[in-house]
Homo-oligomer: A and B are copies of this chain.
Amino acid sequence: MVNPTYEKLGSAPSMIRELFAYGLRRSAEVGPENVFDYSLGNPSIPAPQPVQQALLDVLHDTDPIQVHGYSMAGGFDGTRRAVAEDLTHRFGMTIRPEELFFTCGAAAALISVIRALTVSPDSEFVAIAPYFPEYLPFVESNGGKLVSVPADLDTFQISLDILEAHLTSHTQAVLVNSPNNPTGVVYSRQTLEGLAELLRRKSTQFGHPIYLIADEPYRELVYDGVEVPFLPTIYPNTLVCYSYSKSLSLPGERIGYVCVPSCVEGQADVLHAVAGAARSSGHVCPPTLVQLALQRCADARPDLAAYDANRRLLYRELTQMGYECIPPQGAFYIFVRVPDGDDVAFSQRAKLEHDLLVVPSTAFHCPGFLRLSYCVSHDMILRSLPAFRAIREKYQ
């Protein structure tokens, strides 16, 4: 009667959501101050003041029929122009307004790109594990195949040799996410140049372009001045999927974009296919109010001081306790190696014995680690430290 794949997808909450729901229940039972919830990647700093002000200003000074009206499918010209100028200014590569197609967030951007590039049931999309769990339904429910390739498990950079072994004539795209969820790692320029060289070589070998899909919701969240190279400048056949959810703390506004720069092979066709794929998945236009606000503050950036303080505190304390952590450079995640490698058991024990909620990396298709989202209060981190210490001691 109903589609069993979707029925399952809609009834089985993700591990992350399950932990979060457990946390809410426990907070009601034992008090929120006694629950240490590192489960969700939900921004904990408010949207920058200029963004909040721009939203109010638009509501106050613009005709309500326009503020709440349709825009063109890919967004208002003015918004695309403002964002294109900001990108051009920052990355030393001209991005024209018509190369941007605004969407309801990064999920819609990614799915539009995946659908656009799926040409047969054999079409393959390669993801580097650990990866965002939704990549799997994004690809498989939209007609393609997900190919999982493990990252280098010491550095969590891309292992080019392993990747090469997984590229086939059916590979349509490689999906990369840097700064990375769940590892907090930023791919180095060296990694990305190696990746570009590999993809160029394999594109020639297979006689068709292998596109790079850059999933970049965390682009603006980096620390210690780490560089996040703009991928189209390294590999021309890059489609950028962006979201303002994390960078401007606007997940509820549902706004992001696909950027298909003019250097992309078959650029016009790709952009049309993205627009058609979006249309066929229920996209009419991106929300208008936030578009009009963005037009006024396309250069707004987050104040990362709170995240950075959390990152330093957690990294320092956990490593002092004897945990091995991947040095966190970006996003708001820290990736911790589980002493005996059983991440699911660690997460379960932490939950049941300490009301400490950490996501086992099995959820990201790479067992042996824990993801801690440090978009939480500094105080919660401080209160949680004894629990981390107590568990660590059990592993001695």
Contacts and interface: CB of A to CB of B under 8 A. Distances in A.
Interface of A: 1-11, 42-47, 52, 55-56, 59-60, 63-65, 67-71, 103-105, 107-112, 115-119, 134, 137-138, 141-142, 208-209, 249-254, 265-266, 269-289
Contact of A6 (B6, B254, B276, B285): B276
Contact of A269 (B7, B141, B265, B271): B7
A376 to B, nearest CB: 12
A111 B282 contact: yes
Contacts of A59: 52, 55-56, 59
A279 B10 contact: yes
Given A105-B282, A284-B254, A2 B273 contact: yes
Contacts of A5: 276, 280
19 contacts: A1-B119, A6-B116, A6-B274, A7-B116, A8-B272, A8-B276, A9-B280, A45-B65, A47-B68, A70-B251, A103-B282, A108-B282, A112-B282, A251-B284, A252-B287, A252-B289, A254-B254, A254-B286, A287-B287
A218 B151 CA distance: 51
Contact of A1 (B109, B266, B280): B266
A115 B9 CA distance: 12
Contacts of A142: 280-281
A209 B277 CA distance: 30
Report the 3 A-B pairs with minimum CB-CB distance, sorted nearest first.
Answer: A252-B288, A10-B276, A9-B276
A276 B11 contact: yes
A199 to B, nearest CB: 14
A25 B208 CA distance: 39
A233 to B, nearest CB: 22
Given A6-B280, A115-B6, A285 B70 contact: no
Given A47-B68, A252-B288, 13 more contacts: A1-B209, A1-B269, A2-B117, A2-B119, A3-B116, A3-B273, A3-B276, A9-B276, A10-B277, A47-B64, A71-B252, A110-B282, A254-B286
Contacts of A278: 10
A68 B128 CA distance: 30
Copies in the complex: 2
B282 A3 contact: no
Contact of A105 (B65, B273, B284): B284
Contacts of A67: 252
A165 B63 CA distance: 50
A138 B45 CA distance: 38
Contacts of A69: 42-43, 249, 251-252
A9 B279 contact: yes
Nearest to A72: B17
Contact of A272 (B11, B116, B208, B271): B11
